[in-house]
Amino acid sequence: MSDRIFNFNAGPAVLPLEVLQEAQADFLNYKGTGMSITEISHRSKAYEEVNTQAEADTKELLGLGDDYRVLFLQGGASTQFAAIPMNFLPQGATADYILTGSWSEKALKEAQLLGNTHVAATTADGNYKRIPKMEEIKLSEKPAYVHLTSNNTIYGTEWQQFPTFGDAPLIADMSSDMLSRPFDATKFAMIYAGAQKNLGPAGVTLVILRQDMIERCPKNIPTMLRYDIHAKKDSLYNTPPAFSVYMVHLVLKWLKKNGGLTAMAERNQAKAKLVYDVIDAAPGFFSGHADKDSRSLMNVTFRLPSEDLEKQFVAEATAAGLGGLKGHRSVGGLRASIYNAMPQAGCQALADFMKEFQRKNG
């Protein structure tokens, strides 16, 4: 559509045009109900089918069986920062956190309010330019769980391979790279992701839990923070964010239609290469924040020789139909978020703009 820009915002972020068009067509009269998806009861058959299919599609894409549940909750990943220790950090135990950026720091901060914690590794001393090496990770004696953040939106780093720690339950915040590539989801006791970066609109948080973790949930914490309650009620304990879940359902369907996670990874690698190649070809003008072996396929972060040039870059890019390229305030510079729904044409347009901007200003 000629009036749409290429949206490089970090979140809320770009959604597949096909998904938006399907939602638009269904919005006033969902599946012959005579009502919008925003109006129908969450107890109705029409909505329950959406909810059930979204769980099934998530598990299919990740290769998970009946020993996992998929929940659709509210409060964003930030609420999970507290819910996780409330459910899985018993008194006297220790939870281990691997720090790779701002969001893992925030997860640790919430856990520190609720129990004993241990920083198993951190790359803060290098301004989070890289993911820690396995030999740098030092666990506590018997952690209740180990928490990591798979992709760091602000710093543009991403785990290339996930670690395993024996019997210690591994929990991951995958908000910004969820379903962007194949990985062994059975390594994880829990995965959670705010939808608004790579899955759908804001308002719903995807939580994937192994059944044995659900069975650990204590009975003496607030009901809305109990995973076992939400699992028992199939994410319908309270009124869910129906429209957001519906949109995630459409995105999951789109992912399956377009080849699943293997095809998405190939596409994402090709898109990221277009932008990183421009950065690497002009090291005196473009400077990538992340070390090459830790680079994210979802968030490309880079600087220019001066802040004035960076401001000029954002202004001219916006005028050229390339939106959302300003970097996060804690890092500065520029950031291109190129999630699953960003078409290759968008990354090609950005790469071409970068080359021309360097030619005029380098």
Please report the beta strands in the chain, taking only residues with DSSP state E, as ranges in sequence order.
6-7, 68-73, 94-99, 116-122, 145-149, 151-152, 157-158, 170-173, 190-194, 205-210, 287-288, 299-303, 322-323, 334-337
Q: Is the dihedral angle over the CA atoms 220, 226, 232, 235 positive or is it negative? A: positive
Closest CA to 62 of 172, 266, 208, 248: 208
Cα–Cα distance, 322 to 336 (Å, whole number): 10
- The helix/strand/coil state of 72 is strand
Structure tokens at 199: 């899955």
User: Which secondary-structure segment (H or E) carries 272?
Assistant: helix 260-281
Cα–Cα distance, 313 to 184 (Å, whole number): 39
Residue 324's alpha-carbon distances to 45, 321, 334, in angstroms, are 39, 10, 9
How many Cβ atoms are within 10 Å of 21's Cβ, its own excluded?
A: 12
Catalytic residue among 159, 197, 271, 326: 197
- The helix/strand/coil state of 85 is helix
Is 197 labeled as catalytic in the residue annotation? Answer: yes
Cα–Cα distance, 144 to 134 (Å, whole number): 19
Catalytic residue among 103, 159, 177, 271: 103
DSSP 8-state code for residue 29: S
Catalytic residue among 173, 177, 271, 326: 173
Rg of the chain's alpha carbons, rounded to an integer?
21
Contact 206, 248 (CB under 8 A): yes
Closest CA to 95 of 109, 80, 81, 115: 115
Is 173 labeled as catalytic in the residue annotation? Answer: yes
Angle at 151 between CA 137 and CA 8, to 5 degrees: 160
Is 254 labeled as catalytic in the residue annotation? Answer: no
The catalytic site residues sit at 103, 173, 197
